[in-house]
Amino acid sequence: MLSVIMFICAFSVQISATSKLAAPKNFKAVSVTETTIKLKWSKVLKADAYRVFMYNSKTDEYETYKNVTGTNCTVKKLSAGKTYKFKVAALVKNNSKYSVQTKTAKLSIKTKTKSDNTSASTSQTLGQKNAIKKAESYLDFTSFSRKGLIEQLEYEGFSNAEATYAVDHISVDWNKQAAKKAQSYLDYMSFSRQGLIDQLIYEGFTAEQAEYGVKSVGY
């Protein structure tokens, strides 16, 4: 009887050790320029972080590009007109080490060329161009959530379509914006951890972005 129990326990441990979290879904590029590619994917339940892998043609392997806590990552310092391949996997933290879970299928993205950007620029309406400039000017001196920036542009008189287009065509890390906003609040007011999270969500940040923001300031 004891040997049977030991076998069952050993089998259960083996199953637990070998089971992995599923690969992130909806893995795609949401922004592409000559030198950057912004990747995005859906949240994986129980994941502590994520690892982005980039294909290295010299080694013929997908190598670690970066670990991130959110569900997006901007890959920088790329070459124009070149195709890059990526994968992403959830990470589970065990003590101080991360365990890599199931990887996504490869995602191939080609960076833009100057001619691509010229074509895109000429196809933009005057309202879209000015909305982009206004959005960038706001981010130069204060922080916004995506929702908050769209609303600010609408307050300036831009249509919802123009404001949304502008916000989706600028390079911005919303996690970092949440961190900046959290710090700006703490510079002149005291908050509990939950209170600060609630305030960031009220500002239009997602719950995940708000969590990142409060962690960045020490909560």
Residues constituting the chain? 219
The per-residue pLDDT for 119 is: 60
Q: What does pTM read for this prediction?
A: 0.51
**What pLDDT, on a 0 to 100 scale, did the predictor assign at position 16?**
44
pLDDT at 155 over 60: yes
Task: Taking the CA atoms of 141, 200, 21 and 108 in sequence, report the sign of the dihedral they define.
Answer: negative
Confidence at residue 24, expressed as pLDDT on a 0 to 100 scale: 96
- For residue range 63-110, what is the model confidence (pLDDT) as tens digits? 999 999 999 999 999 999 999 999 999 999 988 899 999 999 999 999
Q: Is residue 170 pLDDT above 60, yes or no?
A: yes
Mean pLDDT taken over the chain:
89
Task: Kindly state the tokens that stand for 19.
Answer: 């089971």
Confidence at residue 14, expressed as pLDDT on a 0 to 100 scale? 44
pLDDT score recorded for residue 89: 97
Question: What sign has the CA pseudo-torsion 67, 68, 69, 71?
Answer: negative
Domains, the chain: 21-110 (2.60.40.10), 123-172 (1.10.10), 173-219 (1.10.10.10)
C-alpha of 198 from chain center: 20
pLDDT at 181 (0 to 100): 95
